[in-house]
Amino acid sequence: MKLKLLTLAAAIALAISPAAGAVMTDGGRVQGVRDGEITVYKAIPYAAPPVGALRWKPPQPALPWSGTRKADAFAPACMQSGVSMPGETPPRTSEDCLYLNIWTPAHGAHAHLPIIVWIHGGGFTNGFAGMPLYWGDRLARKGVIVVTFGYRLGALGFLALPALTAESPAHSSGNYGLQDQIAALRWVQKNISAFGGDPSRVTIAGQSAGGDCVSILMASPAARGLFARVIGESGGLFEPTNLATDYLLPQAEAEGQKYAATLGTTDLAQLRALPASDFVKPGANRVAHPVLEPIVMPRSPYEVFARGEQNDVPILVGSNEEEARSLVTDLAGVTAANFNDGIAKAWGALPPQLLAAYPHTTDAEAKQARLDLERDLRFGWDMWAWARLEAMKGKNSVHYYRFTHRPPFPADSVYANWGASHFAELWYVFDHLDQEPWHWTDADRQLADTISSYWVNFARSGDPNAPGLPSWPAFTATQPQTLLLDEPITVSNDVPDLKTLAVFDAVYTAARGAPFGETKQR
């Protein structure tokens, strides 16, 4: 065994050579690491460390350096609690975390390759740009540059306070993590050409909370011109804001004050002097969410899309068949008798018509109803709304999918019985089946190759289709065709789970006081 390990280490050393060419950025020269035909650049600073006086400030330009900076090790993740995926190894963390990573197949500055900028998920409380599942090596081998980056999370990324609003020239607070994302995209626009990229072909992509961020950036005037296409996976922010009032700045400020009081002070100087570790203690997650404020999100994404004022680009969006299987932690305890109480405990009192749309007269029905309701509530309706709004109000193409494939998750693993759950598509999107020693079939490998090719093709041209791949028709307002990602890949002429999604739609329309795709006149 020792000999085998030594042989493997030698092979890796030969494949990964430090002799990659240096690249000049606006901050200084960086030296990456060659991995076969791919060069990887890790931990390039895109903004100054948001520490001390820069805590809860918009990101500032990275400090320049002299000489050549070795870009051969990932930076720590931003301060966080827990992990973004069950079974994930907790990453090193630091408040000094505004760095990005680049995988490029280019061997010069004139390749003009498309770029995928990946925004990790994690509920705005955790996640890591250097997580192996997100490595861009396999996608890069298909002809695209992949960028991942860290952004501020939790209370350090999203705290709103009256004092922070008062000190801001824009009268804003919260959304510092979203401002980090915009800073990273601006860095890409300025520097990616040197790595062989075409800044006019940037695709922003994200999953879960990363998908929420992508939908916000599509609606944000501050992000205009920073990307040309969008991929959203199981995450979007389109619910009526009058049903989620904590997104409104006054309510977010009030909640921020309550949270700060638990730390012993609401004084900004004292809060900025506290150790960063104080902001990942229990209670921090309640202020970890986007806020409607003047800089990044002056209006809700729904309102912006309904008015046709979004950053209008081609979109590829969708969700998974069994999203909630990886998120409902006590499914065994769900019964017909406690179904309504369980929903109320998790989500508050929901309208009776929503509960009635998911039959739960038996214990078996109740378990399935809990999974289906949370699938639609947390992901399904938002992704359908996103696709419809762009199809109705935008001028660019929409490609809509449902991931229905069940990976071979081992029965003795943390992923047991997940099925086509939240997260399940990621191994296929990044073509990283080889990272897990599971019983992958030829069908799994073919599906991973096809899905990753769709994503790369879309980044290249705004169209996922190419010769040799199953045809993916566009989703339109009159023909809402959905690609079902399974083996074999098929096309549905309508939206899966339309009956229950329509019930959500009716509830949200009543809350908005305007039909879908319209906004109340003010």
Q: Are both 420 and 518 inside the same structural domain?
A: yes
Beta strands in 388-450 (DSSP E): 398-403
Q: Which residues span the domain enclosing 135?
A: 1-313
Q: Check residue 148 and give its pLDDT.
A: 99
Percent of the chain clearing pLDDT 90 (strictly above):
91
Q: Which residue has the tokens 């309701």?
A: 373
Among 290, 313, 336, the domain-final residue is: 313
Among 268, 285, 313, the domain-final residue is: 313
Q: Are both 343 and 304 inside the same structural domain?
A: no
Q: Are both 366 and 301 inside the same structural domain?
A: no
Q: Which residues are catalytic?
A: 208, 323, 422
Q: Are both 178 and 90 inside the same structural domain?
A: yes
Residue 104 corresponds to which tokens in the numbers above?
């490029």
Q: Check residue 242 and give its pLDDT.
A: 82
Q: Are both 296 and 378 inside the same structural domain?
A: no
Q: Are both 128 and 260 inside the same structural domain?
A: yes
Residue 142 corresponds to which tokens in the numbers above?
């298909």
Q: Which residue has the tokens 């099925």?
A: 419
Q: Check residue 237 and give its pLDDT.
A: 97
Q: Are both 289 and 326 inside the same structural domain?
A: no
Check: CB of residue 45 under 8 Å from CB of residue 62. Answer: yes
Give the predicted TM-score (pTM) of the model: 0.95
Q: Are both 124 and 206 inside the same structural domain?
A: yes
Q: Are both 302 and 354 inside the same structural domain?
A: no
pLDDT value at 8 more than 50: no
Check: CB of residue 313 under 8 Å from CB of residue 227. Answer: yes
Task: Give pLDDT tens digits for 193-220.
Answer: 999 999 999 999 999 999 999 999 999 9
Q: Check residue 522 and give its pLDDT.
A: 55
Q: Check residue 67 and give its pLDDT.
A: 96
* Alpha-carbon gap, residue 123 to 473, rounded angstroms: 31
Q: Are both 5 and 106 inside the same structural domain?
A: yes
Residues whose CB falls within 8 Å of the CB of residue 434, separated by 6 or more in sequence, listed in order:
none
Q: Check residue 157 and give its pLDDT.
A: 98
Average pLDDT, the chain: 94
pLDDT value at 25 more than 50: yes
- Could you give the number of structural domains in the chain? 2
Task: Give pLDDT tens digits for 376-419.
Answer: 999 999 999 999 999 999 999 999 999 999 999 999 999 999 99
More confident residue, 190 or 3: 190
Among 293, 313, 333, the domain-final residue is: 313
Q: How confident is residue 521, by pLDDT bands cut at 50, 70 and 90?
A: low
Distances (CA, A) of 95 to 41, 186, 229, 303, 344: 21, 21, 31, 34, 36
What kind and span of H or E run contains 4? helix 2-15
Q: Are both 351 and 480 inside the same structural domain?
A: yes
Q: How confident is residue 7, by pLDDT bands cut at 50, 70 and 90?
A: very low
Task: Give pLDDT tens digits for 70-87.
Answer: 999 999 999 998 999 988
* Alpha-carbon gap, residue 115 to 117, rounded angstroms: 6
Q: Are both 445 and 462 inside the same structural domain?
A: yes
Check which CATH number belongs to the domain holding 436 and give it: 3.40.50.1820
More confident residue, 87 or 462: 462
* Alpha-carbon gap, residue 64 to 75, rounded angstroms: 17
Q: What is the mean pLDDT of residues 295-324?
A: 98
Long-range own/partner contacts, residues 487-493 (CB < 8 A, 24 or more apart): 487/405, 487/443, 487/444, 487/446, 487/447, 489/447, 489/450, 492/402
Q: Strand, coil or helix: what is 307?
A: coil
Task: Give pLDDT tens digits for 255-308.
Answer: 999 999 999 999 999 999 999 999 998 877 789 999 999 999 999 999 999 999
